DNA sequence: TCTCAATGTGAGAGGTTTACACATCAACCT
DNA sequence: AGGTTGATGTGTAAACCTCTCACATTGAGA
């Protein structure tokens, strides 16, 4: 590891990396700007040159998470039927959440006012769009947006409850992935059955 | 307001009330034990006679939330069909979440390790039971538990995304309640259509 | 070469959590 | 009555954290 001079050179990115790791270890609540600075080897006030405050640093790591989520959704290959597509998206979402639960929590922590962080809001829209496009392949255009929101809700609920350990204790034997696929397929089948009502 | 002597008399409850109000105002993150103590009129170390630490105080208010949620679910009258039941439960859940979003967040904050707070876990089970019973009215017994978890996930996802403002910005015109009912009914219809697969 | 804008440092103000020794008081036991 | 005691509140203080501000350092461009 190269000795560094007075200036770090890439502090912003180094802080983001340290933050992600710290959040992973100690959780969103346990994380502190000071410790991130310490880990990177700068003074505890240095981070404030790059991030307005603690929340801004967390928001920036949340943004990275949203970008990654968009990528992972984009990589999914299109499937034939709506039920399969719904199950595919749901399980992918679940996988992402389980990869780094603490960061996933940061991404949706209500503490971060998304209206204060325009970029976060934008990225949220792009993910919605991902889902819209995929729904539009199997549904009338007029329905797509609402249905996409429904699917997202289903996936998100599965993810958060599962991460929080609320499902495992009740259904230890069932794989959460199977449950997700089953719920998504049921929802999808129900859509095509009686579009009205 | 009566002058109080050296002892408060009902500090535990007073703290719970103050905590709920503070969490409602400043959010879970903005809440501090000190401020709750100040508000109640005791020294900042007094709360630790009643709660092991900050998290314990939050866990206790979360528990109150879970008890209230169980009550509200218990009050729902049984309906004829599965789709109607699913929609009814989902909208009730949503209503509860919107009543006090910050407390709802505290209830499911991953920061609180439910395995550390046995009572929280227990109450979670009782809510699952509520749903199980209602599902069992319309489905084979063997399915009920899993289906209840699916329904809970759907409702929970709708609630968290809606609270976080992730749905409103995408679908400003659609009432979140309608979206919830629609999703729940679709899911329910899909269940009865082709139980297998 | 000189200057300046960006970036890092150190000190410090003000807030928080929590431990600990001590104060107070209601209730209970003689 | 009078004394003891366990529960509950107080005050102090240590260890932390966020964030501000004046100052130091340095690379890059004029």
* All structural domains of chain B: 1-51 (1.10.10), 62-193 (1.10.357.10)
The string of pLDDT tens digits covering residues B129-167 is: 999 999 999 999 989 999 999 999 999 999 999 998 888
Measured between CB atoms, does B143 come within 8 Å of chain A?
A: no
Buried b (16+ CB within 10 A) or exposed e, A28-48: bbebebebbbeebebeeebbe
Higher pLDDT, A33 or A1: A33
Residue-level pLDDT at B184: 95
Residue-level pLDDT at B191: 85
Taking the C-alpha atoms of residue B82 and residue B157, their distance in angstroms, rounded to an integer, is 20
Residue-level pLDDT at B109: 87
Higher pLDDT, B3 or B53: B53
CB spacing of A186 vs B191 below 8 angstroms: yes
Distance set, CA A165 to CA B11, B39, B157 (Å): 32, 34, 15
Taking the C-alpha atoms of residue B16 and residue A33, their distance in angstroms, rounded to an integer, is 30
Q: What confidence category does residue B2 fall into, taking pLDDT thresholds of 50, 70 and 90?
A: low
Percent of all residues in chain B with a pLDDT value above 90, rounded to a whole number: 78
Residue-level pLDDT at A181: 95
Contacts of A15 (CB under 8 A, 6+ apart): A36, A37, A40, A47, A50, A51, A57
Q: Residue B28 has which token pair? A: 């879970």
A135: pLDDT strictly greater than 70: yes
Closest C1' nucleotide to B31's CA: C16
A195: pLDDT strictly greater than 70: no
Q: What confidence category does residue A1 fall into, taking pLDDT thresholds of 50, 70 and 90?
A: very low
Mean confidence (pLDDT) of chain B: 91
Nearest CA to B83 out of B38, B10, B137, B163 is that of: B137
Q: What does the pLDDT average to over B40-52? A: 97
Residue-level pLDDT at A2: 54
B172: pLDDT strictly greater than 80: no
Strand D closer than 7 Å to the CB of A55?
Answer: yes
The string of pLDDT tens digits covering residues B92-127 is: 999 999 999 999 999 998 778 788 888 999 999 999
Closest C1' nucleotide to A52's CA: D19
Which positions in chain B touch A190 (Cβ < 8 Å)? 185-191, 193
Taking the C-alpha atoms of residue B47 and residue B29, their distance in angstroms, rounded to an integer, is 18
Q: Residues 16 to 35 of A: which have CB under 8 A from any B CB?
A: 27-29
Distance set, CA A98 to CA A160, B82, B129, B148, B150 (Å): 9, 31, 26, 22, 18
């Amino acid at each position: 590891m190269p000795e560094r001079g007075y200036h770090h050179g890439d502090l912003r990115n180094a802080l983001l990396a340290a933050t992600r790791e710290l959040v992973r270890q100690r959780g969103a609540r346990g994380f502190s700007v000071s410790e991130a600075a310490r880990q990177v080897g700068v003074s505890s006030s240095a981070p404030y040159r790059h991030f307005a405050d603690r929340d801004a640093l967390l928001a920036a790591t949340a943004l990275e998470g949203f970008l990654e989520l968009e990528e992972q959704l984009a990589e999914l290959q299109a499937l034939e039927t709506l039920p399969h597509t719904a199950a595919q998206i749901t399980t992918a979402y679940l996988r992402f959440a389980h990869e780094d639960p603490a960061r996933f929590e940061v991404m949706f922590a209500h503490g971060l006012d998304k209206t204060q962080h325009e970029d976060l809001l934008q990225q949220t829209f792009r993910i919605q769009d991902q889902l819209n496009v995929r729904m539009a392949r199997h549904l009338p255009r007029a329905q797509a947006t609402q249905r996409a929101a429904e699917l997202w809700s289903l996936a998100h609920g599965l993810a958060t409850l599962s991460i929080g350990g609320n499902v495992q204790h009740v259904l230890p034997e069932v794989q959460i992935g199977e449950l997700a696929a089953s719920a998504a397929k049921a929802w999808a089948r129900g859509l095509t059955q009686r579009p009205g009502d």
